[in-house]
A = this chain, B = another copy of it.
Amino acid sequence: MSNTPLLPLLLTVVEAGATLAFALSGLLEAARKQLDAVGVCVVAGLAAFGGGTLRDVLLDRRPFFWVAHPEWLWILLALCIAAMAFLRARHFAPTQKAMLWPDALGLGLFSATGTQLALAQDLPGIVAVLMGVITATFGGVLRDIVCNEIPTALRDHQPYAVCAFAGGWVLVGAQHFGLPPSAALVLGAATATGLRGLALATGFTLPRWSSS
């Protein structure tokens, strides 16, 4: 995983971008549910760090991202305070729609890093891909559970976890066929984000199945 000195930097940049995107989605959801200041910070934090932290607990990795980089907790806190001030001043009406695009970015970025971290522990492909999907989607799942809703990712018939799943397999395949990890990472993340963006642009939904 370290045959290029660029990779650690790239991983950090990728994780930072994804973290901000997910925090924003959590923040908007908390605003939509009219939570208080603490709720906004907690839901934003869960959305941002929940998926990666759950992955690290499952993989028994320490330290967590937010323990190794505690400055991110300050950034999150500042982001939440700024957003609350901004939202109060502008009477901004957060919508489902505004949440979709930062989500799509985080989806690709988190799934690729999660899959690659699992591969670095020599886990089988299907487990690595699943770890990527968990990294990418369980922040949002925890966000929705805390907000007392059935997680959007599990019920809206839109390709979401499925994009992370596909991106993960692209990464696993790319690395298996000898691409350098950094290229595999970019390819996997681009696949997942691209598929999600395509789904959003075309309105494509998963084939429905009816149980009644």
Contacts and interface: CB of A to CB of B under 8 A. Distances in A.
A81 to B, nearest CB: 10
A211 B93 contact: yes
Contacts of A145: 145-146, 148
A128 to B, nearest CB: 10
Given A94-B211, A126-B74, A38 B153 contact: yes
Determine how many copies of this chain the complex contains: 3
Contact of A42 (B35, B154, B157): B154
A37 interface: yes
Interface of A: 30-39, 42-43, 53, 57-58, 60, 62, 64, 66-67, 70, 73-74, 84-85, 87-88, 91-94, 123-124, 126-127, 130, 141, 145-151, 153-158, 160-162, 206-212
Given A123-B67, A209-B84, A209-B88, A162 B38 contact: yes
Given A34-B155, A146-B154, A160-B38, A73 B127 contact: yes
A107 to B, nearest CB: 13
Q: Which of A57, A64, A146, A154 has the most CB of B within 10 A?
A: A154
A91 B212 contact: yes
Nearest to A64: B58
A88 B212 CA distance: 8
